[in-house]
Homo-oligomer: A and B are copies of this chain.
């Protein structure tokens, strides 16, 4: 049996059904104690009200998703994006979430230079570290699947996340969010996770469906796809991670259409049988 105290419901899993208030209530109703907060939902009520609701229901915020998209070559646009990331750190601090999930940003279609975009993302991160440190929040670098490299994240592998961590030299403020869906295919996953070690500050779970129909919103419930989720969990835990297991299922055709209480119930079941 896995410890249910370490199960966190990522709001992305019930994104279309519940507001943040409803999600906190739903999590509490399911006798769970943790939620990972979706930032757009947080904005609807504000961090102060969210903090009050979390405290009131005894639910802990395990993370805030997401901030980033700092890769535009246009200097003004990039500065604006960095300011927004700083606001996310403050929001996370206000709801006592230990980490902000950092999504780097994509490739500029005019520039067509993924390497340049990576360079800018790393440079932006270096400038963001002091604010994260001051807010007492970790920047959780999340390698995302190469299929969204063009539009969402040029950080495509655990290896590159480790290289960025090395370059930043700020282990107290920069960690890695590991998402089974984004990394399961990586031939060097085991080495990458071992090297990441205690840098891993968040662990996201979902499954890869064989008949995947969308590049972003067609994730599967643990057990419904081809990912060896228990195997990856063991790698992550062997590396030293002892934190929450956040279930994050973007699913436009299935889970977003279901009764959210049923979705949470299913997550609880699969947490014991497929994680």
Residues of A within 8 A of B (CB): 106-109, 112-114, 118, 145-147, 149-151, 154, 156-157, 159-160, 163, 184-188, 208, 210, 212, 215, 225-228
Q: Pick the residue among B112, B226, B228 that contacts A228 (CB under 8 A).
A: B112
Q: How far is the CA of A145 from the CA of B159 in the complex (A)?
A: 17
A186 CB → nearest B CB, Å: 7
Q: How far is the CA of A73 from the CA of B228 in the complex (A)?
A: 16
Q: How far is the CA of A159 from the CA of B185 in the complex (A)?
A: 13
Q: How far is the CA of A186 from the CA of B147 in the complex (A)?
A: 11
* Contact, CB under 8 Å: B113 / A146: no
Secondary structure at the A interface, as helix, strand, loop or mixed, is loop
* Contact, CB under 8 Å: A112 / B227: yes
Given contacts A114-B185, A156-B187, 13 further A-B contacts (CB under 8 A): A112-B227, A113-B228, A114-B228, A145-B146, A145-B147, A147-B215, A150-B185, A150-B208, A150-B210, A150-B225, A157-B186, A159-B187, A215-B215
* Contact, CB under 8 Å: B107 / A150: no
9 residue pairs of the A-B complex, CB under 8 angstroms, read A112-B228, A113-B228, A147-B147, A147-B215, A149-B185, A150-B212, A150-B225, A154-B185, A156-B186
Q: Pick the residue among B109, B145, B187, B225 that contacts A157 (CB under 8 A).
A: B187
A212 — which chain B residues lie within 8 A by C-beta? Answer: 147, 150, 215
A185 — which chain B residues lie within 8 A by C-beta? Answer: 114, 146, 149-150, 154, 156
* Contact, CB under 8 Å: B228 / A186: no
A225 CB → nearest B CB, Å: 7
A273 CB → nearest B CB, Å: 13
A157 — which chain B residues lie within 8 A by C-beta? Answer: 186-187
A184 — which chain B residues lie within 8 A by C-beta? Answer: 114
* Contact, CB under 8 Å: A109 / B226: yes
A225 — which chain B residues lie within 8 A by C-beta? Answer: 109, 112, 150
A163 — which chain B residues lie within 8 A by C-beta? Answer: 187
Q: How far is the CA of A106 from the CA of B160 in the complex (A)?
A: 25
* Contact, CB under 8 Å: A118 / B215: no
* Contact, CB under 8 Å: A160 / B146: no
Q: How far is the CA of A124 from the CA of B1 in the complex (A)?
A: 39
Q: How far is the CA of A215 from the CA of B148 in the complex (A)?
A: 11
* Contact, CB under 8 Å: A210 / B114: no
